[in-house]
Amino acid sequence: MPYDLKELAAISGMPGLHRLLRPAHHGVLVESLAERPVRTLAPAKNKVSLLSEISIYTEDPDVTVPLTEVFERIHQQHGPTLPVSAKSGESELSSFLAEIIPDYDRERVYQSDIKKLVTWYSLVSQHRPYQEAQEAASEPESALTNPEAPATAEPTADEPLSTGGIISELDPEPTPTGDPEVTQTGAKKSRKEAE
């Protein structure tokens, strides 16, 4: 997920987007997503809509597109700047969303929803870093990802042991009681015995 939307929310009665910080006695402590963030208390009576839980309706009533995926599609096609704004005309906004989600439901997704989407994307792209997906080439290859890689040999006696290693003969005998508190030199004294 390139944009992390988990802690971002739209709050009724409060303009813009906010980052949720922590619950408070009479609401939620939030920080505005702005050039100069301001912390404030969102009252409990205000509706908090987490961006990570918002989806766009499609023509298939059983399928919705999560906002995180919509943001990813927008970023792939347009980058951080959009060709439209919340003040663009209805036809421009509709064609913009149709470019991103060709099968979006034109009856259930209103112009006000598209304006919110454009505004939210602009805010998030300005104030949150886009995280590039890690490429598989940057990860070291293993025998699981590369079948041509040689199989790992068993460790030698001087190598540290792993769960697949061989226990050397020099290792001490296990304690007879199986109690981890007992060492080779005898039982540990409890705090009461030591005093």
Q: What is the pLDDT of residues 137-161, one digit of tens each?
A: 344 444 344 444 444 444 444 544 4
SS3 at position 133:
coil
Question: pLDDT value at position 184?
Answer: 47
Q: What is the pLDDT of residues 92-147, one digit of tens each?
A: 999 999 999 999 999 999 999 999 999 999 999 988 877 765 433 344 444 344 44
Question: pLDDT value at position 186?
Answer: 46
Question: pLDDT value at position 115?
Answer: 96
Give the separation between CA 162 and CA 151, rounded to whole angstroms.
Answer: 16
Entry pTM: 0.65
**Residues 9 and 23: beta-carbon distance below 8 Å:** no
Which is higher by pLDDT, 15 or 151? 15
Which is higher by pLDDT, 159 or 24? 24
Q: Which CATH architecture has domain 54-127?
A: Orthogonal Bundle (1.10)
Query: Taking each helix axis from N to C terminus, what angle separates 111-127 and 90-100, rounded to the nearest 10 degrees?
Result: 70
**Residues 16 and 123: beta-carbon distance below 8 Å:** yes
Place of tokens 């390139």: 2
CA geometry: angle at 18 spanning 16 and 19, to 5°? 160
In the chain, where the domains are located: 8-50, 54-127
